[in-house]
Structure 1
């Protein structure tokens, strides 16, 4: 839960999920699996299938320029924790959150009733790359954060069932 919170906060604030954060979650997931203390009751096969499916599915969106690489890597690490069967509802919930974020951002661009909220939804200003050029595509939807929040919602939902 702490790892998910760190990912969500970092992605909301910086609009990126750093490699050290992804790697720490993946290493911890592998350690928990190795010790036989996996909190969601999945085994190695389900965890590895979740990691591969999480990574490969979102890799398609990265290839189309719709998502950042950190989101893709985070989905792979997340799959190690929850397995492939849990990723489907998590993706659906996260996509709904991201869709609401985008729709609200578009509405606030058109009707600027709450300019500060529009700025928050847009994220931090884009920083120039090493060559001094701005990134070709600004990613204002923190999908990794929404994946993390959807996972927390899924965790509570599963405990209630």
Structure 2
């Protein structure tokens, strides 16, 4: 359910609120304490949280990713653990890349404006930065959430 909330919120708002990332991290800690975490043991989960957060922090520092994506990646790493992060990142990145290609095609050749509005939203400027000309049109956290859902359904069965 948490992954669905992240995906819907990021697709609609192009941001991930802190309370939603924090809620996921707290739920992951509770699942670890109860021994029902999908990511395995404490060590795997904590390394996953660090890898998720610090792995994407570089992209935030470069200005190509929002802070909400980075915080969500840390909480997600806590849920799935380090061993699941590579396939989650691959699926999420492929979907985000497809989104970017579709954006470029629709931006240069506006065939279906309603599809474009649905995919890219009406407010694509970076939130809270009125002087910025950067456009944030890829909801990366949403695609990571989809990648994690794919891993939870298919990836864990093969492991």
Tell me, yes or no, if structure 1 residue 95 matches structure 2 residue 93: yes
What's the counterpart of residue 34 of structure 1?
Answer: 33
Please, what TM-score do these two structures have when normalized by structure 2? Answer: 0.92
Tell me, yes or no, if structure 1 residue 140 matches structure 2 residue 137: yes
**Conserved in 2, the CA contact under 8 Å of 1:13 and 1:123?**
yes
Please list, as runs of the form range in 1=range in 2, the aligned pairs for 1:6-21 lying within 5 A after superposition. 6-21=5-20
**Conserved in 1, the CA contact under 8 Å of 2:126 and 2:134?**
no
Cα RMSD for the two superposed structures:
1.6
Please list, as runs of the form range in 1=range in 2, the aligned pairs for 1:23-102 lying within 5 A after superposition. 23-40=22-39, 42-102=40-100
Alignment: residue pair count:
157
**Conserved in 2, the CA contact under 8 Å of 1:19 and 1:70?**
yes
Counterpart-to-counterpart distance in 2, 1:129 and 1:99 = 25
Counterpart-to-counterpart distance in 2, 1:47 and 1:85 = 9
Counterpart-to-counterpart distance in 2, 1:128 and 1:78 = 23
Tell me, yes or no, if structure 1 residue 150 matches structure 2 residue 147: yes
Please, what TM-score do these two structures have when normalized by structure 1? Answer: 0.91
Counterpart-to-counterpart distance in 2, 1:29 and 1:140 = 29
Q: Secondary structure at the match of 1:66?
A: coil
Task: Quote how far apart the aligned CAs of 1:122 are.
Answer: 2.0
Partner deviation per Cα, 1:124-146 (whole Å, 9 max, x = no partner): 3148738xx24442211000000
Q: 1:86 to 1:138 in 2, by over 3 A?
A: same
What's the counterpart of residue 4 of structure 1?
Answer: 3
Structure 1 unpaired stretches of 5+: none
Counterpart-to-counterpart distance in 1, 2:74 and 2:127 = 28
Structure 2 unpaired stretches of 5+: none
Counterpart-to-counterpart distance in 2, 1:29 and 1:124 = 33
Runs (4+) of structure 1 exceeding 6 A deviation are: none
